[in-house]
Structure 1
């Protein structure tokens, strides 16, 4: 597969790729969730399993315009039982992804992170976002805007590795990873810069990624800023992946892309045994569709690797 350079390219890459993927939708009595599924179903991408109060979910699905003959319903009363049902479906192989409905993200993540959930494919989860900035001809990836609150060095290493895997799905063979801070030098009073220095040394000569930092955002993505500030390494000005030092910076950057930039995004949580789609109520319908597409790309890649094993 060649490099996927835009979110419409992502849709084009998955549409001819086989039968619909079963998606377990936890607490599906949510209008935003159901509307986001409508186009994905029309494109033949997903077979939803709607989990929640059966009659209420069925009525809302009809009102949202879903073809309920192509939907499965699982009765569940309450947020936690709905999450447990979604996890059980994935654990049993009946679904290949989970999508959040009318349930807090924390409730779903708490259930998925339990030791006995069968969902913990890796040590931790990472929220990964793909977007194409205006004026650029390629996608960038951002992590972590939604899971890791105050990651330490080991957590950041896992975030980098998870995001590099997603980059591989989009066609990046050895992506350039920028560890963000507020400046381009190590300052003992700025923990993010110290952490970046630790990670750069850990990833020296890594065959899967080129990791650099610390960088301010402009130096990471703008060749002109990198030139003016005389930062001339392999990553500066050409980053494919942006790693923020914590959820505060990550979430602010994520929301600025939509609030100020008007961009569509594709976001999933990786690190579990199946991808998790955690849409925000503020996300556009296109962003939700693209997020489903990215999750399906990840699910199909996982299925293919399992078949090889």
Structure 2
């Protein structure tokens, strides 16, 4: 957009300009980051007036005031304007979602080259004065006509898909979860955080002394939480699986122990949790900028899966995606190429999985492959390659060739694209919540939400069949 400023000589008393702006939740995150003001009154997700609503977000008054500078610096007088002073009187509060109108009116020209503007900010609907004041600025002395700068965009590292999953899981009956060896602050804190959000009812299985020490370290209370004192990790894993076998728990959660110790108990022949389907790991990734969660599988269990294992990998991912609200998941089976090359085994497997889905051997989703990463998730890349498919460019599930590729992809999304990943193992009788010591509290919370939502769907379908 071409812009032109007004110099001091061109300005006339009575000149006016206005700017319209919608206040969004992302604006408030950006302002909190830039200003350092993290007052929860101004951030989504808090219910500070205890009315049960978390969507009534009050915009910081200084963010509203800062909009005046956008009119002065961009429109009137425009480029070259420098502030001398600004008064602000706040009459009402803006909230996320409000349509705001920012106006300035030139009221005085001074001999020293400064000018005075009356400034206001109104809410458009319902009409209400939010702010009034007076700005004194040094007006431009040099005439400038210029193209408005294409400044770099900002990526708000906000995980709205996980927020939605947690909100969806909170009204459900809490899922009773056997938490194995939550003997350090991260694993214990994640379970207790999920309990506070009413996602789970934890049964802590491990060394009582270590669990209590971890609770003290992270300032958590264990009041009302059941603890089964088992010092040995193998014994703790077996006891957690026994709780599921006995009907006391509906999921298992990994704490501070090795994954293989837990899975040995899950896969034992007596009182294990086998179903006849392979255990497979699924990351549910919340990637900023993507309009949907992205499922990546298998990144943690099956090292070099053969075709038979990949069938279960795909089917487990489809089942979980359906639980998360994706009616017909679009599954992209990844390879280095998007055409079948007999020299690249993953491309052959991908083509076979796609055909098996067409023939009903894999059900519930649309499966296509081989697809390279670009044309699996980017519609423009798919069109450039001439790929015509309901999956290409729109994949909601990515099936990787092996564990190396899956682990690298998930960690690239996490550390380069600022994604959060919830981890779940499918294929057992109940979900297995698999978290890492490096996981954030948000990732642990989302993992519990995903497990609770999936298990609620499975339970609901079982009740419907029994009825």
| TM-score bucket (shorter structure) | over 0.9
SS at match of 1:49: strand
The question of 1:267 aligning with 2:427 is answered: no
| Distance (Å, rounded) in 1 between the aligned partners of 2:375 and 2:271 | 41
> Is the radius of gyration larger for structure 1 or structure 2?
2
1:7 corresponds in structure 2 to: 162
**Higher percent of residues as strand:** 2
| Distance (Å, rounded) in 2 between the aligned partners of 1:53 and 1:131 | 32
User: Aligned-pair distance for 1:182?
Assistant: 0.3
2:241 corresponds in structure 1 to: 87
Aligned residues: 304
The question of 1:209 aligning with 2:362 is answered: no
| Distance (Å, rounded) in 2 between the aligned partners of 1:267 and 1:56 | 25
SS at match of 2:358: coil
Could you state the TM-score of these two structures normalised by the residue count of structure 2? 0.63
Partners of 2:281 and 2:298 within 8 A in 1: yes
Partners of 1:47 and 1:70 within 8 A in 2: no
User: Aligned-pair distance for 1:262?
Assistant: 1.6
User: Aligned-pair distance for 1:149?
Assistant: 1.1
For residues 84-121 of structure 1, what are the alpha-carbon distances to aligned partners after superposition, in whole Å with 9 as ceiling and x for unaligned?
Answer: 01000111111111111121001111221122233012
The question of 1:150 aligning with 2:310 is answered: no
Could you state the TM-score of these two structures normalised by the residue count of structure 1? 0.94
Corresponding residue to 1:190 among 326, 341, 344: 344
Partners of 1:38 and 1:65 within 8 A in 2: no
Partners of 1:178 and 1:214 within 8 A in 2: yes
1:231 corresponds in structure 2 to: 387
The question of 1:241 aligning with 2:397 is answered: yes
The gaps in structure 1 that reach 5 residues or longer are none
Corresponding residue to 1:104 among 258, 277, 282: 258
Moved more, 282-291 or 30-39: 30-39
| Distance (Å, rounded) in 2 between the aligned partners of 1:122 and 1:257 | 32
What pairs up with 1:1-309 in 2 under 5 angstroms? 6-18=161-173, 20-206=174-360, 208-308=364-464, 309=466
User: Aligned-pair distance for 1:205?
Assistant: 4.9
2:151 corresponds in structure 1 to: none
| Distance (Å, rounded) in 2 between the aligned partners of 1:141 and 1:10 | 14
The two structures, once aligned, show a CA RMSD in angstroms of: 1.5
Partners of 2:283 and 2:295 within 8 A in 1: yes
| Distance (Å, rounded) in 1 between the aligned partners of 2:406 and 2:247 | 33
**Higher percent of residues as helix:** 1
| Distance (Å, rounded) in 2 between the aligned partners of 1:164 and 1:264 | 20
